Structures are given as C-alpha cells and as structure tokens.
Amino acid sequence: MTEVLYKKLVTTIPDLCRVCYTCVRECPAKAIRIENGQAEVMHERCIGCGNCVQVCSQHAKVYLNEEKEVLALLKSELPVAALVAPSFPAEFADFENLRELIGMIRTLGFNYVCEVAFGADLVAQDFRTVISDENHPAVISSDCPAVVYYVRHYHPNLVPSLARVASPMVAMTRVVRKKYGPNLRTVFIGPCISKKAESNEVDCVLTFQELRHLFKSQGIKAGQAMPSDFDSPLAGRGMIFPVKRGMLQTLNIPEDLFDGNILVAEGKVNFPAAIAEFENGAISSQHLELLCCEGCLMGPGMTPDGKRYARRAMIGNYVREKMLERDTEAWKRNIDEFSAIDLTQTFEPSDRRLDLPSPSKIRKVLASIGKQNPQDHLNCGACGYDSCENHAIAIAQGLAESDMCLPYTIEKMHRSIQELNLSNEQLAKVQQALKHSEKLAHMGQLSAGIAHELNNPLGVVIMYANILLDECQDEQIRQDLGLIVTQADRCKRIVGNLLNFARKNQVRLEETDLLKLAYDSLASVIIPDRILTHVESRLREPLCWIDHEQMTQVLTNLIKNAVEAMPASGALTLKIESEGEYIVISVKDTGTGIAPENMDKVFTPFFTTKEIGKGTGLGLATTYGIIKMHKGKIEVESNDNPSKGPTGTCFNILLPKINQS
C-alpha cells in the first residue's frame, strides 16, 4: 500500500463540539480521545471511516478538504484525469442526465473523465482467481482502505491475509497512466474519506460533496456544460461495485454457491466483528469481503441524508441501462488489454494497539467512577463505550475521562449541589453574623462614647454625694444623699457594663479551672428546686486562661437568663468540651426558647423581652463584649416552637485555644 502517512483526515472544530460522545461511540477504531472536554481525533489511530463526520449533529467533525490542491493541479501544464467512483449515480440523483455531470467535470478543466468501475472489473477478476482456488488460504478483501487500515493498525497479525490486490481506484490509476501516459495526474472523485490517505499513486482525492462545492465555487451549473460520455476504457459489471455484495455481483457469482466460503460483512459493527472472528479462528477458512460503510453508496463523502435503498435503486437502474448500451466485445478487449497490468498491492503491519491495563488497574479505575460492585456496572453506553469496563480501560489508556460516565457525573453533581446548598446556607449565616457584629460594633462605639462622657461626671457626683453624706447630720437629707449615692452607683455599673459591651475594659487573664468556674457561677444564682442542673466537662484538664471575674459575670448572666426561661420546671446543663481550635462552654436550658424574630437582637444593648424594670437589657450585650474581649465567639441556638421539637436555648461560648499558650 503506497500510503500517505498520517494525513489528518478528520479534525474537530472545538467551538462546535458539545462533547456528547456520539462520535466516540461510533468510531470503530476508538480513535477519538476526550481531553479537556474536547473530542479530539487521534490521527495516528484514525482509519478515515468518516463515521464521526456523519453522526455529529453539531457538524464539529470535518474531513480534509483537497479542493485547492485539485484546482492547482488543473491549472498546471500536466494532463489530469478525473477517476469517478461507481457510486456517482446515487449521489447525483438530481441530474436528469448524468452525461451532463461528466460534462461539468470536464468544464472544471479535467482532460479525461474515467470510470473507476473499470478498475473494479479488473480487481474483481483477480479476486475471482483467489476465491476459485480451493487451496488458496482465506483472504480479507482489500478494496476498502478503512478496512485495510483497521487490519494493519488493530489486527497486524492478519496483514498477510489481506488480498494482495490493488483497490479499484489504484487499479484505474494504473490503467489510465498506461493508456494516457505516465505524466498523467489523477484525481479520484468518490464517496470515501479514507481514500484520501490510501495511496500516493493518486494525486488528489475529492469527495462528491467537495465536487459539488467546486462546481459552485467555479460557477459551473448543470445545463450549461456540454453533455459527455466517460473516456475509455468503459466499465462493465464493475459499475455495481458500490452496492451490498458489490464484489460478488461484479463477478456475477450467484451467492448461494459461494455462501459457504465467502462471508460479506459491511458497516462499522459488522466488519470488526468479522475480523475478530476470523482472527480467533471461528471463520478462518472463509474469504471475507468487507466494507466499512453499508456499501460505498453510503460513504461519508456523499451528500448526507440520502436514502440507502433509493440510492441502490439508482445504481441498479444506471447499470441496467448502461449494460444494454455498451459494447460487450469492446469491454472484453479492454479487459484483455489491461489484464497485463500488475495489480499487486502489498501491505505492511502498522501496529497501533494500546497496552491492555492490568486487571487491578482496571478495578482501580472502575472504583474511581463509583463502580465497586458488579451491580454498579450499568453498561448504559452513555460514555461512548459499550461497557463500564471498556470505559475504564479507555481511561487507563488515556483515551477517555471519568466525567464521561453519566451516572457518575450525575451523582457527583448531586453531591456538589448539596455541598453548594450547604455552603450557601453557611455563607448566609456568616453574612448574617457579619452584619450583626458590624451593627454591634457600631453600637459598641456609640456606647463607649456615651459611657466615657458619663463616667467622669458620674464619678464627681458619687464623690461629692459621699462627701456630703459623711458631713451631713440631718437624717432626712442623709437619706436623700444615700439615695443619690445608690442610684449613681447603679449608673456607674451600667456605664461599666456598657464599657464591657464596647470591649473597652481591661482583660486580666489568669489560669482558671473552668469546671470550678461553672460550679461557682451556678452557686451564685438562686436556682429553684424545680430546675435540675448538670455540669460536665469533657476536658482532661479543664484549665483555661481567662479573666476570671468577667467570665463569672458571663456565666452568671447566662444562668440567670436560663432560669428565667424555665418558669415551670426544666433542666440546665453546663458543658465544657474541646472542638477543633476552641474550648466550648455551653449553657443549655429546656425553657421557652427565643422567638426567631428576636434571635439577631439578643446581644443588642438595652434589648429585653422582660417587663419594664426587670432587666436593663445589658446582660447579653455585656456577655457578648466580654467574649469578644477574649477573642472568642458566642453563638446561640434556640427553638420556641414545640411543634418543631423540644424547646429551649443553648449558648455556646467558643474560646480560642491559641489564647491558652
């Protein structure tokens, strides 16, 4: 085979590819690799069958276009012959008179327009010699270049079984060169993409689609060109070659006689299956007549969407008509004349098989796409491979990606959506918390300003009230002064709490036993018998560096609130534990809970749900400020709706462990 090595027969237009894997599924050579979300053709593996071009609904696969090269050839000084494939009547059904088509081809500038069907006549003769010889080892027909490439790449051991006969295209090239001179250039025109890489003996290959495009670009229209016949030598039954069992029909061999030793297989599924069975010995005594397409009349270079049986009928009609018209004796003379041409063709193996991964590697890949057990192998084919195992092999060979597995991808997407929902929720919570702490920070600034301004005059009031109290002898006035001192002290405490909230007080860290702190805080609050208390620590050593006094105030505030939230009865639990980088102290009650609309106000200064006079609304604000001064966090969870579960509130104080060093 005088091949044109590594021609990039088919390429992908990345922008059009929607990565549907249809081409992967349809490629008999598994020559399409999915990489970075693109279905890329591996040219060294491609056999040019054109299946991917035909099946891609997005027109993302295009084949090599040689129109420019042909135009350049036609402009040269050299004579050029067009070698028209015998499937042309099926393609140009829109022509009332096919002689017009031949005239149009001549108008493009071709010196000769010849029928490849005559080459098919010669090839069929050689094939007859092989199959008539009972002692001849079984052969695989070599007229379809895609089949030949497939054997050479993927069944190199079978290369010696390929019939050593040139294809009709190459045979016809040799014929016309003999007839019209060795300088003659040839352009094959047909339905096939693979032909473009078949042989260096042919100068260019155009598909019928390219020919139509050339007519258009060169302004050549049907009806304007002089109708014409093919140049000699004219074909005989070789005209029937492109239909199913074309070779046998060309040889006029009744199928029933030969059914026993010739097996015909056509199409991307059947021909590889026949080759595999031939190789494993199941049908090794039978000659194989193989075509990659469902007959050349369905080739990828034909105009898409043609109807198979209508095309077949057109070829049948054309052949019948021509067989009546043509001079059989002249045909025989031509066959005799050109039978002397050497139609031998040799083929070399060109192994493109990939190493099969080990069973353990395959299992590992399968596990990575969620196929742990046999029942996980859905073998749905959505990935483009016919089984999960074949997909795993392709992944291991670098041909495929895990994301091609639809069930795996769907599951992964579900997981991502869940995670996304979760992180959205978390984000919303964080945003809410941020807004809240910004609000509290502003209030803290305001409180600090007010407290600072009040602190000094208040100090003066208290000092002078105390001096006057010391000096005054009048009992009535002393009582009034005492009231001033008491209320001014109260104001002083409020100011102190405001400063705590505004984090303007000093924190004096000292090593504190949290368990003892919890018990002491509980002891400092009057807890009615109806409330059960429980303290537990999950720390081995519940020691912590904190401002003992301030944290006592924090716990006391929370315990008091908890007790007030359980007017009937309930349970109060103080728990100390470690959680990541925090020591967590939680104060949990089974009380009435906090209404959802109040949840983001609980730390706001002067916010209270208690009756007027029963609370300043500074308890939780102070608590918040103290925890912040410890660089910690305070979180609250609460449920006030019994239909949603047990009611109650839990405050979690998170103190960073890093403070502890």
Residues in contact with ligand SF4 by CB under 6 A are: 10, 12, 17-23, 26-27, 29, 31-32, 39, 41, 46-52, 55-56, 58, 60-61
Q: Enter the tokens of residue 421.
A: 């929902």
Report the residue number, 158 or 563, with the smaller CB distance to ligand SF4: 158
Report the residue number, 11 or 659, with the smaller CB distance to ligand SF4: 11
* DSSP code at position 192: -
Report the residue number, 30 or 588, with the smaller CB distance to ligand SF4: 30
| Least separation in angstroms between CB 341 and ligand SF4 | 31
| Least separation in angstroms between CB 167 and ligand SF4 | 18
Token look-up 């002891």 returns 523
Residue 471: how many CA atoms within 13 Å on its side-chain side? 6
CA dist 361 and 359 (Å) reads 5
| Least separation in angstroms between CB 23 and ligand SF4 | 3
CA dist 40 and 60 (Å) reads 10
> What is the three-state SS of 334-349?
HHHHHCCCCCECCCCC
| Least separation in angstroms between CB 49 and ligand SF4 | 4
Report the residue number, 21 or 331, with the smaller CB distance to ligand SF4: 21
Evaluate whether 289 touches 248 at the Cβ level (below 8 Å): yes
Report the residue number, 391 or 630, with the smaller CB distance to ligand SF4: 391
Residue 478: how many CA atoms within 13 Å on its side-chain side? 7
| Least separation in angstroms between CB 153 and ligand SF4 | 10
What are the phi and psi torsion angles at 291 (to 5°)?
-135, 140
Report the residue number, 19 or 378, with the smaller CB distance to ligand SF4: 19
Report the residue number, 10 or 158, with the smaller CB distance to ligand SF4: 10
CA dist 452 and 230 (Å) reads 110
| Least separation in angstroms between CB 102 and ligand SF4 | 30
Going through 483-581 in order, the beta strands assigned E by DSSP cover 510-513, 531-537, 543-546, 570-579
| Least separation in angstroms between CB 292 and ligand SF4 | 8
Report the residue number, 298 or 634, with the smaller CB distance to ligand SF4: 298
Report the residue number, 24 or 82, with the smaller CB distance to ligand SF4: 24
First and final C-alpha spacing in the chain: 81
Token look-up 């100390």 returns 576
Instruction: Give the strand pairing for 262-266 and 287-291.
Output: parallel
Tell me the sheet residues that pair with 205.
188
Report the residue number, 351 or 581, with the smaller CB distance to ligand SF4: 351
| Least separation in angstroms between CB 19 and ligand SF4 | 5
Report the residue number, 88 or 150, with the smaller CB distance to ligand SF4: 150
Q: Which residues of 567-590 are buried (b: 16+ CB within 10 A; e: fewer)?
A: eeebebbbbbeeeeebbbbbbbbb
Report the residue number, 147 or 175, with the smaller CB distance to ligand SF4: 147
| Least separation in angstroms between CB 13 and ligand SF4 | 8
CA dist 209 and 66 (Å) reads 11
| Least separation in angstroms between CB 381 and ligand SF4 | 14
Report the residue number, 46 or 120, with the smaller CB distance to ligand SF4: 46
Evaluate whether 582 touches 544 at the Cβ level (below 8 Å): no
Evaluate whether 271 touches 150 at the Cβ level (below 8 Å): yes
SS3 84: strand
| Least separation in angstroms between CB 46 and ligand SF4 | 3
Report the residue number, 27 or 495, with the smaller CB distance to ligand SF4: 27
| Least separation in angstroms between CB 310 and ligand SF4 | 25
* Residue 150, C-beta contacts closer than 8 angstroms, at least 6 positions apart: 28, 29, 47, 271, 272, 275, 292
| Least separation in angstroms between CB 348 and ligand SF4 | 19
**Residue among 303, 272, 248, 284 nearest 91 (CA):** 303
Q: Which residues of 91-127 are buried (b: 16+ CB within 10 A; e: fewer)?
A: bbbebeebebbbbbbbbbebebbbbbbbbbbbbbbbb
Evaluate whether 47 touches 151 at the Cβ level (below 8 Å): no
Token look-up 């639809």 returns 406
Going through 603-645 in order, the beta strands assigned E by DSSP cover 633-639
Torsion of CA 245, 135, 349, 190, to 10 degrees: -20
| Least separation in angstroms between CB 290 and ligand SF4 | 15
